[in-house]
Structure 1
Amino acid sequence: MKPSLLIATLSLLVLTDYACSLNILGIFPYHGKSHFIVFRIYLRELAKRGHNVTVISHFPEQDPPANYHDISLAGSIKAIEGEAPFQSSYLTLFIVSLYLAHAAVETCDVMLANDQVQRLIKEKPKFDVIVVEHFNSDCALGVAHKLQAPVVGIMSHILMPYHYQRFGIPYNPAYVPFHFLEGGTKPTLYQRVERTIVDFYFRQLNHYYTQRTNQNSLAKYFDDIPPLEDLAREIKFLLIYQHFILTGSRLFPSNVIEIAGFHVVDAKPLTGDLKKFVDEAEHGVIFISFGSVVRASTMPADKVQEVIKVMQQLPQRFIWKWEDKTLLVDKKKLYTASWLPQVDILGHPKTLAFLSHAGNGGTTEAIHYGVPVVAMPVAGDQPANAAAIEESGLGVQLQVRDLTAENLLNAFKKVLDPKFQQRVKEVSRAYHDRPMSPMDTAIYWTEYAAKHSNFNFRTPAADVPFYQFINLDVALVLIAMFSIYVVLVSALIKKCCCSKKVVKTTGKTEKKKSKRA
């Protein structure tokens, strides 16, 4: 190749790369570490692919790429880790709902009060697309509105109750799993009633408290923020962290994209004592972890003893993410640590089962590596995830209230069965079989929103009033028509009956007159 042609080609490649490079803002005001673990991989990949990425979050990077910039909220609120109680009840659900509402208000206020955030809004740099976490607050949409850029929402879990209507997604408690409750796609009558009540409660709490308070917080700084629900309907795409092989098919519009799995990295070889423990496990190992939100050491002592009884009855060794040193079990049988390389353990060929709280991150990692799960949900989206685990064939579920040595032993025996293990491998293969990788899918639609920002991708169902969405007006018209028909027929029958009586009465009168004559 001639030098001049080579230079021209390289220049073209550089200019093409420059032309494709986007200026992206990520807004992640929620202080939950388990959420940001997922988003971090995506944000770093955006930077790796040449985009200029600015991130508002509580979790600044320690070694950011040159084109990755943090606006740190760290230290303003304590990051959430190991806070959830190890119990499941209506009281726990009520406490969780109040916590989410309070956190939505607090994180909004903290973000808006940040000097760097205010400077960013004042300077209004041009962003090609803004990515916001779609969770318990829409406050970030107000900031995005001030910066006048298309918005992509991203989630680390399934839909919250108040997300369905804004995207025109049908919610029917008869077959759509509910974020906080049991029952999956086959709820009982009791569970359908339960879902209907709890769904109404969460939507009202979000509308009348969270959104209104966030709106007032934004109004302290800006006087031109439209209603947050209206801004939510303007979101170009929602990247949702689920996949139909695990959660089942859903009726999503075209701008809701399933992207589960992009945070799962390749498993690395185990090291040190953990490697030795696993290598010497003649019958394989069972991994126990309840994630970063639930501390296993808060499990009631009687439940812990039930788990230990099961360990003594199975030939497998156990690895347990345990935060203190109170477990008195033979070290040849049980390995504990406050932190464990979860992906590396799940990716190890000797890992045969996973006792989990059914958090979305761990569940995604389990299906990625084809490890059967015994799901024991505690709070949040875990009950819905646990139901999906069982329905998909990835594992079985066991409620905390039902945790006994006998029930847990039966659950482990079921998932350790070779036929069950083979089925899980088939589920995992189907999960991996996609036209694009999860990361490529997430990046593609983010870039698409920036390239085609003048288009609106939402379904018309999102703009239809609720009474029309459920065809209430049509039903009332049909009921009115039927009622009118019944009234008219009744009136006609009554008139006919009256006419016959008159004729009959007239006939009798005429006969009497003729006889007298």
Structure 2
Amino acid sequence: MKPISLTVILSLILLIDYSTCLNILGIFPYQGKSHFFVFRVYLRELARRGHDVTVISHFPESDAPKNYHDVSLAGSAEPIEGDVPIVNSYITLLGVSLFLTTSGIDNCQIMLANKQVQSLIREKPKFDVIVVEQFNSDCALGIAYKLQAPVVGIMSHVMMPWHYERLGVPYNPSYVPFHFLGGGTKPTLYERVERTVFDFYFRNLYNYYTQRNNQNTLAKYFDDVPPLEDLARDIKFLLLYHNFIYTGSRLFPSNVIEVGGFHVVEAKPLQGDLKKFVDEAEHGIVYISFGSVVKPSTMPAEKVRAVLNVMKQLPQRFIWKWDDKTLMMDKNKLYTSDWLPQVDILAHPKTLAFMSHAGNGGTTEAIHYGVPVIAMPVVGDQPSNAAAIEESGLGIQLQVKDLTEDNLLKAFKTVLDPKFLHRVKKVSEAWHDRPMSPIDTAVYWTEFAARHSNFTFRTAAADVPFYQYIMLDVMAVLILLFSVIAVLFRTVLKICTKSSNKNPKEVRTSKKKAKRA
């Protein structure tokens, strides 16, 4: 082949690649570090593939590529990290509901007041697709409406109560797990009642308080933004951080795409003292972490003693993410730090078990590397995740209130059993066995939404009025029909009965009268 021909071909390839690059806006107004940690991998991958990516968030990049642009909200709200005490109760759950409500309103106000955000909306650059976090606020959908671009929703957790109806996803408390509660897919009667009550509470609190306040905040800046719930129904796709191997099979419409696992990056070798501690662990390692939101030092003293006593009875070494220096134990047995390379630890072949709060990020990393989990849920989606951990075979649950020395020792002996570990490895194999990787899936459907922006992909169930969805009108017609038939039948029966009850004399008299006539 002549050099000139090769040059022409390479130039055409570059032009084709350039022509397919998209201008993408990501809107992430929530200041939760654990959430953005997941999204960051996806956003950087979009940029790596040549797309021009602009991101509104509280977490600007320090080493962003040239085609990754931050609209920073940093400093306007305190990042959510290490604030939640290890207490699981209805009071905690009510506190979560109030936090979601107030933070959703605050996030909207902070974002719309930002000068860079205002400038972006005013200048109206052409975006091919806008990616919006679906969590505690739909305010970002108002910005997407003003910029007139198709929207892709994205989550780092299971679905919130207010997302089912808008997407046409059936929610039945008899078999569908509830974001904030345990019970999994086989809840007891008490748990079904509990789910029904809290589902009603959370949905109405969001719709009538958070949503209305966000609508009013948008109205201060724009006078033409439609109802946010209508905009939410127009989302092209929802990239949901699920995978049925872990969360179980659900009834999702075609525009809800499972992409669980895309945030797990390639593990790196351990370094320094941590590497030495792990390498010298003759019987392996157990890793303990309660994530970036739950504060481990708030664990009651008797619970801490129970954990430390169990450590002494097991041959394994332990690594515990602990936020202060009060935890005292033999340094040959326990390694503590307020920051640890979690992926690198879970990926290490000597890591045999993971005691966790059942956060979605850590659980995803555990199933990715085939590490058994003892799930001790505290708040948020953790109870739902813990139930999925147990049902999938990835691990077992241990509630905070049940954390005693005997119960914990029994739990560790269960997950450290070679047969249990073998089962978890099989679960991990199934998790990885997909036609397309989770990051490729997330990117593909984002690009698909941009390429086919004129189409609506939502299921018809999302547009059906509630009374039709639960078939109230059909039931009313059937009840009316059966009532009419019953009345007619009763009337005929009454006439027949009355006729048969006449005595023979009356019958003969009536026949004679008929003949004379």
- TM-score strictly above 0.5: yes
Q: 1:259 aligns to what?
A: 259
Q: 1:184 aligns to what?
A: 184
Q: 1:394 aligns to what?
A: 394
Q: 1:204 aligns to what?
A: 204
Aligned residue pair count:
511
Q: In the TM superposition, what is the alpha-carbon distance from 1:509 to its structure 2 partner?
A: 8.2
Change (3 A) 1:499 1:15: same
Q: 1:282 aligns to what?
A: 282
Residue type of the alignment partner of 1:172: N
Q: In the TM superposition, what is the alpha-carbon distance from 1:504 to its structure 2 partner?
A: 5.6
RMSD, aligned CA: 1.3
Q: Does 1:144 align with 2:116?
A: no
Distance 1:509 1:352 in 2: 100
Q: 1:43 aligns to what?
A: 43
Identity of paired residues, percent?
A: 73
Distance 1:270 1:221 in 2: 50
Moved beyond 3 Å, runs of 4+: 502-505, 507-510
Distance 2:70 2:331 in 1: 43
Deviations 1:393-433 (A, max 9, x none): 00000111111111111111111111100000000000000
Q: 2:115 aligns to what?
A: 115
Distance 1:186 1:130 in 2: 37
Q: In the TM superposition, what is the alpha-carbon distance from 1:502 to its structure 2 partner?
A: 3.5
Q: 2:195 aligns to what?
A: 195
Q: Secondary structure at the match of 2:318?
A: strand
Q: Is the 8 A contact 2:85 2:296 kept in 1?
A: no
Q: 2:80 aligns to what?
A: 80
Residue type of the alignment partner of 1:132: V
Deviations 1:22-41 (A, max 9, x none): 00000000000000000001
Deviations 1:287-344 (A, max 9, x none): 0000000011111111111111111111111100000111111111110000000000
Matches within 5 A, 1:464-503: 464-503=464-503
Q: Is the 8 A contact 2:345 2:351 kept in 1?
A: yes
Q: 2:131 aligns to what?
A: 131
Deviations 1:36-84 (A, max 9, x none): 0000010001000000000000000001000000000000000000121
Q: 2:419 aligns to what?
A: 419
Distance 2:301 2:73 in 1: 37
Matches within 5 A, 1:286-301: 286-301=286-301
Deviations 1:60-116 (A, max 9, x none): 000100000000000000000012121111111011001001000000000000000
Q: In the TM superposition, what is the alpha-carbon distance from 1:503 to its structure 2 partner?
A: 4.7
Q: Does 1:2 align with 2:2?
A: yes
Distance 2:441 2:429 in 1: 18
Q: In the TM superposition, what is the alpha-carbon distance from 1:20 to its structure 2 partner?
A: 0.7
Unaligned runs of 5+ in 1: 511-517
Q: 2:163 aligns to what?
A: 163
Q: Secondary structure at the match of 1:273?
A: helix
Q: In the TM superposition, what is the alpha-carbon distance from 1:447 to its structure 2 partner?
A: 0.3
TM-score by length of 1: 0.97
Q: Does 1:438 align with 2:438?
A: yes
Deviations 1:466-495 (A, max 9, x none): 111111211221122222222222222222
Q: 2:23 aligns to what?
A: 23
Q: Secondary structure at the match of 1:250?
A: coil
Distance 2:133 2:503 in 1: 79
Distance 1:182 1:70 in 2: 38
Distance 1:474 1:420 in 2: 50
Q: 2:318 aligns to what?
A: 318
Q: In the TM superposition, what is the alpha-carbon distance from 1:500 to its structure 2 partner?
A: 2.2
TM-score by length of 2: 0.97
Q: 2:90 aligns to what?
A: 90
Distance 2:419 2:58 in 1: 45
Distance 1:151 1:13 in 2: 29
Q: Is the 8 A contact 2:393 2:423 kept in 1?
A: yes
Q: In the TM superposition, what is the alpha-carbon distance from 1:6 to its structure 2 partner?
A: 2.0
Distance 2:278 2:182 in 1: 34
Distance 2:506 2:209 in 1: 74
